[in-house]
Structure 1
Amino acid sequence: MEQATFAGGCFWCMVHPFDQWPGVLQVVSGYTGGHSVNPTYEDVCAGHTGHYEAVNITFDPAQITYEQLLDIYWQQIDPTDSGGQFYDRGPSYKPAIFYHSPEQKRLAEQSRDALDASGRFNRPVAVEILPAGPFYPAEDYHQNFYRTHEAHYQQYRRGSGRDIFLAKHWGMPSNH
């Protein structure tokens, strides 16, 4: 089994797109990239820990490749927005790929560069590619939020602007 870690704004919206694929064994919402140990949601939102909201994915590379996960990732975010994602602004909501090996770093950079060169967006891709560090699972109520708080999740997604952006740039349906 391997790990992949992606930050793409609110972690609630990053679970379901990965959770539905064969070979994805677990998707955990949490915090990474910061300087404090065991941060809480409140700590991260206050902006004092340096953490990103992110998802850590355990996957079977025999069933789904890291490249496929990267393709899924790009289609969940605005890769040109380094100030946050959609409604959520600030450092904890910035997009980033956290690599777990030199091969993941190479593939992430290759994927980013190809997307940037594609002309799909009228601004440059601004997603950071950073080494993975400690990952701290978020509080239980944040896990699988799309399932446990379906109405709240759907309302949040609609209001955030994420679905409109994804539909415009990727032709994605708005029921993620």
Structure 2
Amino acid sequence: MAIAARARKRTLTFVAPYLRYFLPFLPFALFILSLIYAVPSDLLSCSIESQWVSLFRAKNEDAVRGIENALRCCGFNSLHDRAWPFPSHDVDVTACERTLGYTRRCVDPWRNQEQVAAGLLALASLFNWILLVTCEVLQYDMWLLTPSDVPASRGCGSAAESIQAISCRF
């Protein structure tokens, strides 16, 4: 047990300095990748259509109906294009339009929802990156301070203890 704990501590001691320098790149990379879906593109349209096709081919009634009900739409590219209820010998292609009463196709609101979600993810990633970089800069600035740079607290310890207390918060 003690050997495993020492091995974990040794691994963490080895990895921790590298994580400190590479961690700020993760939110920045997520920001860049989420912008791909936040901007209207063929990639987003292709992704949405392939997802709809896979749901329709699998006859995933709950998923297709859930999307149509959530977005208040019928079909993908048109009201009659791969809509639920699935067309069969006794179900007409206009069944969704007649039963649910929706009058718009699903591709537009679904694309808008994907873009909004990707935009919010990009914004959150950007704020996360800014926060990480700011904390690193503040921590580095605190590390550069000498005890003479920080006024001693009012009888509660030395300036060095004040610096240590401040830097431990970061």
Q: Normalization by structure 2: what TM-score?
A: 0.25
The structure with more radius of gyration: 2
Higher relative contact order (CA 8 A, sep 6+): 1
In terms of fraction of residues, the more helix-rich structure is 2
Question: TM-score if structure 1 supplies the norm length?
Answer: 0.24
Q: 1 or 2, which has the higher strand percentage? A: 1
